[in-house]
Amino acid sequence: MRYEKLTPQKKDEALIYLMERGGLDALVRADVEQMCLDLDLSNDDLHGLFSIFIYDGMISGFNDRRTAFLFLISPKVKEWLQKGGYTAESEILHKNIALLDAELKNLKPALPLETFERMTTIIANIYGFFA
């Protein structure tokens, strides 16, 4: 399932929202319906968002009580957000892909056409995956 609303900006917004409702390494109880309203997310999107946060180590001890989520916010969330969060990570990734593409174009005269086309296709696929 693809979560269209879960942009890097939305992930950062949600982390800030969660931080405002609970302390680091303290048990947080958050009402599912209220989070969906406040963050403008469907229930499926909210579950997907929490799956991402669990995978990334932003929250732990997750317990889905159907109407509420119980969890711990990792201390690394504060540092992550200070460094720009998911938004900065996405921007850096896009800039690095653009740099790679520019470097590849500089190498074009020195590469066989087939190799250049294959590498350009790989870069386009990577960019398309993260776009």
Q: What pLDDT, in 10s, does the model give residues 74-92?
A: 999 999 999 999 999 999 9
pLDDT along the chain (131 residues), means of 10: 80 95 86 96 95 96 94 94 94 86 82 83 77 59
- 59-64 and 68-73 strand pairing: antiparallel
The answer to whether the CB of 86 falls within 8 A of the CB of 67 is no
Provide the pLDDT for residue 131.
59
Q: How far is it, in rounded angstroms, from Cα 4 to Cα 24?
A: 28
This prediction has a pTM of: 0.80
Provide the pLDDT for residue 124.
80
Angle between helices 43-55 and 32-39 (to 10 degrees): 90
Every domain of the chain and the residues it spans: 8-82, 87-130
CATH topology of domain 8-82: Arc Repressor Mutant, subunit A (1.10.10)
Per-residue pLDDT of 15-33, as tens digits, reads: 999 999 887 878 999 999 9
